[in-house]
């Protein structure tokens, strides 16, 4: 079972709803929880055992800012989604100073908000960037247009290795939307997560229903 975390912000639920939609389209079973539920190791172990028995493939945990340090030390995250610069400063400091190894952790972050020029040591952790600039691994269409007639164009700029070890080559995805009011950053964050977990967004043919 893969374990992912997302640091809570105003757009957390929008990102999670979109991730859930993408994963469900390929019948990947995902569970959601909050870090505050896990007060001790026994509770955590019992919870993991229970959801693994139900066939859960991916567990996504919401983390409050005040719990980030403790959560990163306590839970063996495979992936962490960050959308805010201050969140990144906290996480970056923890990763650099904590005795725990984070070399198997993939951090998904908004490279339009967070600059990682000084964070290039892949022995520390792996960084997967999304955004509208040329440093982003996952961005909008190569034409520069994020959406056309209700379709969101998502582009993988560089080849990447998924959480399961599969190589994904640069390519473009077309995602159907039924709302032009959806924050494109939320879509890119969710798309980055989906691609990392072997979802072929080209197979997402139905309209994404954003509430």
CATH 3.40.1190.10 fits 2-133+184-199, yes or no: yes
As a whole number, the mean pLDDT across the chain is 84
pLDDT reading at 3 higher than 60? yes
Most confident range, picked from 15-29, 54-68, 126-140: 54-68
CB 77 within 8 A of CB 90: no
Domain residue ranges of the chain, discontinuous segments joined by +:
2-133+184-199
Average pLDDT over residues 2-23: 91
pLDDT in tens, 72-92: 989 999 999 998 888 888 888
Q: How far apart are CA 140 and CA 134, in angstroms?
A: 11
What's the confidence (pLDDT) of residue 100? 81
The secondary structure of 56-123, three-state, reads CCEEEEEECHHHHHHHHHHCCCCEEEECCHHHHHHHHHHHHHCCCCCCCCEEEEECCCCCCCCCCCCC
**DSSP conformation class of 32:** E
Note the pLDDT tens digit of each residue in 93-104.
Answer: 888 887 788 888
Counting residues of the chain whose pLDDT is more than 90, the rounded percentage is 38
Tokens, residue 201: 């967004």
Tens of pLDDT, residues 104-151? 899 999 988 887 654 445 557 888 999 988 888 899 875 445 555 567
Vertex 156 angle, CA 152 and 162, to 5°: 115
**Per-residue confidence at 180, pLDDT binned at 50, 70, 90?**
very low
Instruction: Please state the pTM of the whole predicted model.
Output: 0.87
């Amino acid at each position: 079972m893969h374990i992912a975390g997302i640091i809570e912000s105003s757009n957390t639920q929008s990102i999670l709803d979109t991730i859930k939609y993408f994963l469900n389209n390929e019948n990947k079973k995902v569970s959601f929880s909050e870090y505050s539920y896990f007060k001790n190791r026994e509770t955590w172990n019992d919870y993991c055992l229970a959801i693994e028995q139900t066939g859960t493939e991916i567990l996504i945990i919401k983390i409050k800012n005040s719990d980030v340090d403790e959560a990163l030390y306590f839970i063996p995250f495979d992936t962490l989604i960050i959308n805010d610069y201050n969140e990144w400063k906290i996480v970056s400091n923890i990763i650099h100073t904590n005795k725990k190894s984070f070399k198997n952790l993939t951090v998904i972050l908004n490279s339009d908000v967070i600059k990682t020029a000084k964070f290039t040591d892949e022995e520390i952790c792996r960084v997967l960037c999304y955004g509208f600039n040329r440093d982003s691994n996952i961005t909008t269409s190569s034409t520069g247009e994020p959406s056309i007639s209700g379709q969101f164009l998502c582009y993988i700029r560089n080849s990447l290795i998924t959480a399961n070890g599969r190589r994904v080559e640069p390519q473009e995805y077309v995602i159907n939307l039924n709302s032009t009011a959806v924050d494109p950053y939320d879509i890119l964050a969710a798309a980055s997560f989906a691609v990392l977990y072997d979802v072929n967004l080209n197979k997402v043919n139905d309209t994404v229903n954003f509430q």
